[in-house]
Chain A
Amino acid sequence: MSEYVIKNGHVFDPVQGIKGDKAEVAIKDGKIVEKAGSGAKVIDAKGMTVMAGAVEIHAHIAGPKVNLGRIYRPEDKLFTCTPTKGMERMGSGNSIPSTFKTGYEYAKMGYTTCMEAAMPPMFSRHVHEEIRDTPIIDEGAFPVFGNNWFVMEYLKNHEVENTAAYIAWMLRATKGYAVKVVNPGGTEAWAWGLNCLTVNDPVPYFDITPAEIVKGLIEANEYLGLPHSMHIHPNNLGNPGCYETTLDTLKLAEGMKANNKFGRESVMHLTHTQFHSYGGTNWGDFESKAKEVTDYVNKNRNITIDTGNVTLDETTTMTADGPFEHHLTGLNHLKWANVDVELETAAGVVPYIYSPNISVCAIQWAIGLEIPLMMKDPMRCYITTDHPNAGPFTRYPRVFKWLMSTKAREEQINAFKHKDKVLTQTSIGSLDREISLYELAQMTRAGPAKSLGLGNMCGGLKPGMDADVAIYNFNPEKPVANPDDIEKAFTRCAFTFKSGVEVVRNGEIVSTGHKRTLWVNAKIKDNPQVVRDINEKFLKYYSMTQANYESLGHHFVPNPFAIEVDAT
Chain B
Amino acid sequence: METITITMKNQPALYLEADCVSPDAFAGMTAAQIAELSVYEGNVTGTLGKYFDVTGSAGTTAADTKIIVRGDVKKVKYLGMKMSAGEMVIEGDADMYVGAWMTGGKILAKGSVDAFAATAMKGGELTIEGNAGNYLGAAYRGDWRGMSGGKISVKGNAGSDIGMYMLGGEIVINGNIDVHVATHAEGGKVVIKGDAKSKVGGQMVEGDIYIFGSIDIMMPGFKPAGEVELEVEGTKGKFAHFIGDMGERHKKKKGQVIYANLYKKI
Binding site for B on A (CB under 8 A): 72-76, 78, 333-335
Chain B neighbourhood of A75, CB < 8 A: 139-143
Chain A neighbourhood of B143, CB < 8 A: 74-75, 78
In the complex formed, the residue of B with least CB distance to A335 is: B144
Chain A neighbourhood of B142, CB < 8 A: 72-76, 335
Q: Give the 7 A-B residue pairs with the shortest CB-CB distance, closest first.
A: A75-B143, A74-B142, A75-B142, A74-B141, A75-B140, A73-B142, A78-B140
Q: What are 18 A-B contacts defined by CB distance under 8 Å?
A: A72-B142, A73-B142, A74-B140, A74-B141, A74-B142, A74-B143, A75-B139, A75-B140, A75-B141, A75-B142, A75-B143, A76-B142, A78-B140, A78-B143, A333-B249, A334-B144, A335-B142, A335-B144
How far does the Cβ of B173 sit from chain A's closest Cβ, in whole Å?
Answer: 26
Chain B neighbourhood of A73, CB < 8 A: 142
Instruction: Indicate with 1 or 0, residue by residue over B111-153, a CB within 8 angstroms of chain A CB atoms.
Output: 0000000000000000000000000000111111000000000
Main secondary structure of the interface of A (DSSP, over half): loop
How far does the Cβ of A523 sit from chain B's closest Cβ, in whole Å?
Answer: 47
Measured CA separation A146–B255 after assembly (Å) = 44
Chain A neighbourhood of B139, CB < 8 A: 75
Measured CA separation A72–B141 after assembly (Å) = 9
Measured CA separation A333–B249 after assembly (Å) = 9
How far does the Cβ of A326 sit from chain B's closest Cβ, in whole Å?
Answer: 15
For the complex, count residues of B whose C-beta is within 8 A of A. 7
How far does the Cβ of A90 sit from chain B's closest Cβ, in whole Å?
Answer: 10
* Apart from A74-B142, A74-B143, A76-B142: 15 A-B pairs, beta carbons within 8 A: A72-B142, A73-B142, A74-B140, A74-B141, A75-B139, A75-B140, A75-B141, A75-B142, A75-B143, A78-B140, A78-B143, A333-B249, A334-B144, A335-B142, A335-B144
Binding site for A on B (CB under 8 A): 139-144, 249
Measured CA separation A335–B141 after assembly (Å) = 13
How far does the Cβ of A456 sit from chain B's closest Cβ, in whole Å?
Answer: 45
Measured CA separation A335–B143 after assembly (Å) = 9
Chain A neighbourhood of B249, CB < 8 A: 333
In the complex formed, the residue of B with least CB distance to A334 is: B144
Measured CA separation A72–B144 after assembly (Å) = 12
How far does the Cβ of B41 sit from chain A's closest Cβ, in whole Å?
Answer: 15
Chain A neighbourhood of B140, CB < 8 A: 74-75, 78
Interface centre among B139, B142, B144 (most CB of A within 10 A): B142
Measured CA separation A334–B184 after assembly (Å) = 11
Interface centre among A72, A74, A75, A335 (most CB of B within 10 A): A75
Chain B neighbourhood of A74, CB < 8 A: 140-143
How far does the Cβ of B111 sit from chain A's closest Cβ, in whole Å?
Answer: 27
Chain B neighbourhood of A76, CB < 8 A: 142
Measured CA separation A76–B139 after assembly (Å) = 13
Measured CA separation A262–B144 after assembly (Å) = 49
Interface centre among A72, A74, A334 (most CB of B within 10 A): A74
How far does the Cβ of B139 sit from chain A's closest Cβ, in whole Å?
Answer: 8
How far does the Cβ of A333 sit from chain B's closest Cβ, in whole Å?
Answer: 7
Measured CA separation A333–B144 after assembly (Å) = 10
How far does the Cβ of A401 sit from chain B's closest Cβ, in whole Å?
Answer: 29
How far does the Cβ of B26 sit from chain A's closest Cβ, in whole Å?
Answer: 20
How far does the Cβ of B38 sit from chain A's closest Cβ, in whole Å?
Answer: 11
In the complex formed, the residue of B with least CB distance to A84 is: B43
Measured CA separation A277–B140 after assembly (Å) = 36
Chain B neighbourhood of A334, CB < 8 A: 144
Measured CA separation A73–B143 after assembly (Å) = 7
How far does the Cβ of B116 sit from chain A's closest Cβ, in whole Å?
Answer: 12
Measured CA separation A74–B142 after assembly (Å) = 6
In the complex formed, the residue of B with least CB distance to A76 is: B142
In the complex formed, the residue of B with least CB distance to A351 is: B144
In the complex formed, the residue of B with least CB distance to A78 is: B140
How far does the Cβ of B97 sit from chain A's closest Cβ, in whole Å?
Answer: 12
Measured CA separation A464–B144 after assembly (Å) = 52
How far does the Cβ of B144 sit from chain A's closest Cβ, in whole Å?
Answer: 6
Measured CA separation A75–B146 after assembly (Å) = 12
In the complex formed, the residue of A with least CB distance to B145 is: A75
How far does the Cβ of B119 sit from chain A's closest Cβ, in whole Å?
Answer: 10
Measured CA separation A333–B142 after assembly (Å) = 14
Interface centre among B140, B143, B249 (most CB of A within 10 A): B143
Measured CA separation A335–B144 after assembly (Å) = 8
Measured CA separation A427–B143 after assembly (Å) = 36
How far does the Cβ of B164 sit from chain A's closest Cβ, in whole Å?
Answer: 13
Chain B neighbourhood of A72, CB < 8 A: 142
Chain B neighbourhood of A78, CB < 8 A: 140, 143
In the complex formed, the residue of A with least CB distance to B144 is: A334
How far does the Cβ of A211 sit from chain B's closest Cβ, in whole Å?
Answer: 37
Chain A neighbourhood of B144, CB < 8 A: 334-335
Measured CA separation A78–B143 after assembly (Å) = 10
In the complex formed, the residue of A with least CB distance to B205 is: A333
Measured CA separation A76–B143 after assembly (Å) = 9
How far does the Cβ of B121 sit from chain A's closest Cβ, in whole Å?
Answer: 15
How far does the Cβ of A221 sit from chain B's closest Cβ, in whole Å?
Answer: 40
How far does the Cβ of B192 sit from chain A's closest Cβ, in whole Å?
Answer: 27
Measured CA separation A75–B139 after assembly (Å) = 9
Measured CA separation A75–B142 after assembly (Å) = 6
Measured CA separation A356–B179 after assembly (Å) = 38
Chain B neighbourhood of A333, CB < 8 A: 249
Chain B neighbourhood of A335, CB < 8 A: 142, 144
How far does the Cβ of B206 sit from chain A's closest Cβ, in whole Å?
Answer: 12
Measured CA separation A78–B142 after assembly (Å) = 10
How far does the Cβ of A266 sit from chain B's closest Cβ, in whole Å?
Answer: 40
How far does the Cβ of B185 sit from chain A's closest Cβ, in whole Å?
Answer: 13
Chain A neighbourhood of B141, CB < 8 A: 74-75
Measured CA separation A72–B143 after assembly (Å) = 9
How far does the Cβ of A337 sit from chain B's closest Cβ, in whole Å?
Answer: 11
